[in-house]
Structure formats: C-alpha cells, structure tokens
Amino acid sequence: MSLLQNIVIILILIAGAGFLSLTEIALAGARKVKLKILAESGEHRAQKVLDLQENSADFFAASQIGLNAVAILGGILGEGAFRPYIFNFVSRFYQGPWAENISFALSFTVVTSLFILFADLMPKRLAMIAPEKIAVSVIEPIQIFIKVCKPLAWLINVIANMLFRLFKVNTIRDDNITFDDISAVMDAGAQAGVLQKQEHHFIENVFELEERNVPSSMTTRENVVFFTLNEPEESIRQKLAEYPYSKFLVCSNDIDSVIGYVDAKDILVRILNNQSLLQLNENTIRNVLTIPDTLTLSEVLDRFRSTKEKFAVVINEYALVVGVITLSDIMITVMGDWVTPIEADQQIIKRDNNSWLIEGSTPIEDMKHALEIDSMPDEENYETLAGFMMFKLRKIPRPADTVIHAGYKFEVVDVDHFKIDQLLVTRIIEINPLIQEESE
C-alpha cells in the first residue's frame, strides 16, 4: 500500500480508538442523578445509559477488545508504513549499523504518540467535561458495537468473573449518596461562586439538625420566664410588657412543677375584654409538649410536626426542667445570621480581626462557625463553650483560666456563681523569630 493509504487507515484506527475511549469515560463518569432527570424529562437514551451502567460488564469487555485490537493493528501498520521513509531520512545523516534500530524507534514513537494524543488523552479529557451529554449521544452506536463483540466479550467476562470470585472481589458498584458527598458538592459550589457564603452556611445548618441536640438551641432554665398559679395580676402585666415572648410556662410553685403554658395572645384578649387575670384557669392554660434533652433538633422538628405544637419544655433524666424550645429557636439555628431573635443579646461580639467576646452559653456549633474552626475535641461531651472549658480544665473555671485549641486562646473573663458568663477568645499570631530578633 502507498503511504497515503496507510495514513488513511491509521487515521481511521485512531478515530475508532478515540471513539471507544470517549465512550468508556463518558459511560463510567455519567452520574445517575443527572441521567434520571434526563430520563424523566423524556430522553429515552438516558434510560438506555442507566441500563448499561447496571450491566456494564459486556460494554467494558467489548471496549477493551476494540481498544487493544486497534492499538495492535495501528502499531503494526504504522511501524511498517513510516519506517522506510524515516530510514531514508536518517540515512542522510547517519549510515552506521544503528540506522535500522533508530528508524524503528522513531516510527514506533510517532505512531504511539499519535494514538496517545488523539485516541486516548484528548477523547478522555473531552468526556470528563460533559459525561452525561456524551453518554446519551453515543449510547446507540455503542450498543451495536457491543452486539458485534458479544461472543468474545462473553468468554472474557466468564474468565474475569471466575477470577473475581476466586479472589473474593466485590464488583457491585455502590451509588449511595452520603452526607460527605453532598458536603463536597456544596463546598465545590461555594468555591466556584455558585453558592453564596450565606447560602452555604444555611445548607450546612440544615444538615447539622441531625447532629445538634436540644440544649444547643433552647432557652436555658435560668432564662425561662414563667407564671405561677397564684401570680399577681400586676406581675403578669409586668412580665408581658418586659418580655416579648408569645408563650409563657405556667407552674404550680417553681419551674420544675410545670402545669402547662399560656399564650400571650389569650391573656391580651382577657385584658382587652376587661377580664381579671388574678387566676389562671383551664380556659387559658394549655397542655405543654414535654421532650427529653437527648433529642436532636431534627427529632424535635418531627415532634412539632406530629403534635402541631410550636413550644416544648425540655427535661433531663432527673425530670428537672432544663429549658424550653420553640419552633422559632430551631429556625434561628438553621437561618443563622439571616434571622436574629428579638429577645436574645448578641452572644458573639467581634472586637477586632483577632479577638472575640463570647458568652459561655453559646452553642459550640455557633462558635465554630464564627471562628471557622472545623472540629472541637470530644464534642459529644458538651454543648456550649462553657461546657468545653469545664471539660478541658477538669474543674469549675475561674477568671483568667485559659485553654488553647486550634490556634485560639480561650480565656475566662467573668464567672457568676460558678457559671461562666463571658470568655475572651484570641487568635494566636505566631511571630517570625527573625522579625522578632530584628525588632529587638
């Protein structure tokens, strides 16, 4: 054959190998979620791709048959076609005993480089850009190719399956999507600018509902405002005016003897109707939802949904009230900075770029977000920043006690009756020793 004929045949082989390489990466990399969306929108070829992914053994066997056959045939034809011309070119500069070997090496390098570039590297990189789109486009011709190679592919698959069983290799693909997968996609979207920082933070908070317990978002016991059965009318009016809450606990004598709760709206209606508030009765007191402090925020949401309530009392294992939680508290946890509770003081105050004043009752998750800390040691042992300090110090903290973690110094500033009110958190800035020596 002439040089032109050989070149045409080699180009055809390269095109065939490139098509198989493109198809192999596209079908392997096509994501099921996107393919299912295409299939539901009426793209019947997407369903064919999904079916092929479920039974991919025949395709990969046929693909390897084609790729290896083309590569071997291309090497034989290419080396024989280019070698004489390369030999004539080399002979102009060198006519020694190594001229034949040099010609063979150069012809082999030329053919191999053409196949690597145009039949392997470029098609695979193109397939990685849009695997679903390409997979849908090539599915029909590749099915024909699989049928042609079916007999030989069947034999190869039988041998391969026997070897897999012999070495106990699991060949079933796991396509379950985990939280880590979703988190990685969100991080990539945030880095690419698809998700704004606030949106990214919001989505993270939604997933954290499964991990955060009730104490991280509830109003703690000492901050709960409640009425007693014998509460004077003037005291009720004063609490209504002072605390802008929509619901108040009603207790017999103290906070641990909960009877129910009253809605501020019901009391205001009685005031508008000039009715007496001297005695809270069954007409105004409602049954209150009681939940243990071990529930996650996600489980509390389920309780609120099933009971149609938006307010609950949180008790511990000793049946003591540790706080109250509302649907609004959970939404504030999810929305973060988008929503700020009217009644709550700012728990985290940024003094400058390297220091913060933080209340001891601040949930650990909120503190981690504010300081951009990935993890805290043994987080399952505490819920708040005060709890973290007590866990690390192994004692009741006093002012000036410090803990260093993740490049931050946590220093107790104010303690009130063994309760850590406030901490000063400072980012530790390492000073370059050379700069320090020069300054001295």
Contacting residues for 83 by C-beta, under 8 A, at least 6 apart: 103, 104, 107
Tell me, yes or no, whether 11 and 86 share the same domain. yes
189 vs 302, more confident = 302
Tell me, yes or no, whether 31 and 155 share the same domain. yes
pLDDT in tens, 58-111: 888 888 888 888 888 887 887 777 778 888 888 888 887 888 888 888 888 888
Tell me, yes or no, whether 377 and 419 share the same domain. yes
Tokens of 429: 């800035």
Phi, psi of 292 (to 5 degrees): -75, 155
The boundaries of the domain holding residue 393 are: 346-425
H-run or E-run covering 325: strand 321-326
Cα maximum dimension of the chain: 120
Tell me, yes or no, whether 129 and 220 share the same domain. no
185 vs 285, more confident = 285
Q: Give me the number of domains the chain comprises.
A: 4
347 vs 343, more confident = 347
In a domain, 440, yes or no: no
In the chain, the percentage of residues whose pLDDT exceeds 70 is 87
Tell me, what's the pLDDT at 88? 83
Q: Is the pLDDT of residue 198 over 90?
A: no
pLDDT in tens, 227-275: 988 888 888 888 888 888 889 999 988 899 999 999 888 888 877 777 6
In a domain, 388, yes or no: yes
In a domain, 234, yes or no: yes
Tell me, yes or no, whether 325 and 227 share the same domain. yes
Tell me, yes or no, whether 20 and 120 share the same domain. yes
Asked if 200 and 186 touch (Cβ cutoff 8 Å), the reply is yes
Tell me, yes or no, whether 49 and 161 share the same domain. yes
Asked if 239 and 224 touch (Cβ cutoff 8 Å), the reply is no
CA distances from 352 to 90, 173, 290, 357, 400 (A): 73, 51, 42, 10, 20
Tell me, yes or no, whether 25 and 65 share the same domain. yes
273: CATH: 3.10.580.10
CA pair distance 209, 299, nearest whole angstrom: 9
Tell me, yes or no, whether 247 and 368 share the same domain. no
In a domain, 439, yes or no: no
Tell me, what's the pLDDT at 328? 87
Last residue of a domain, one of 336, 363, 394: 336
Which pairs with CB-CB distance under 8 Å and at least 24 residues apart come from 80-86? 80/6, 81/1, 81/3, 81/6, 81/7, 81/10, 82/6, 82/106, 82/107, 82/110, 82/111, 83/107, 85/3, 86/110
Tokens of 218: 């509830």
Last residue of a domain, one of 336, 369, 402: 336
CA pair distance 277, 297, nearest whole angstrom: 35
